[in-house]
Structure 1
Amino acid sequence: MGYVCNLGGANAGNGTWLIGGVIAACWFVVAMKVLVLSSAVSYLFLSLIGCIGYKTGISTMEPSRIFFQFWMILFYFRGRADWIWSRR
């Protein structure tokens, strides 16, 4: 039984930490408003990515992977540029 409980806890992903952190940082009512709004926005982006995948005839994973890799690279270089400019 302990093994099953450990597996269940190990599968608690980043979303669990995000929701718990928002609830801990804000009051419960404010946190619920933030979580409902952010969930709606994230599902909007996911549905748009699904629509792009449907229109292009490829799986949903391909455009989402390209989209998120683009933003991760952009944020990485922006962070590096901010760091370089702050040192001068």
Structure 2
Amino acid sequence: MTPEWVINFGQHALYVAMLVAAPMLLTGLLVGLLVGIIQAATQIHEMTLSFIPKLLAMAVVGLLLGPWMLHTLMQFTHDIIVGLPGAIK
């Protein structure tokens, strides 16, 4: 394994991790922001009011984008397994 291969692998792994995690994280961020604005406007500060909508929204995003996330991770794993014999010299 050359240092270039290891660096390229690390960069690709971080890119795939960000790509797969981004939909869920952005959904939680946007729903949390909306709920926070509503809580500030109504002066109702209950912890479960922010947790339940985030949980539901992230579950919906997980159901909708789950197959794409799984395919992305499987493609990354496949690329690693196929490229591994060429990396070990």
TM-score (norm 2): 0.36
TM-score (norm 1): 0.36
Taking CA–CA contacts closer than 8 Å with sequence separation of 6 or more, which of the two structures ends up with the larger relative contact order? 2
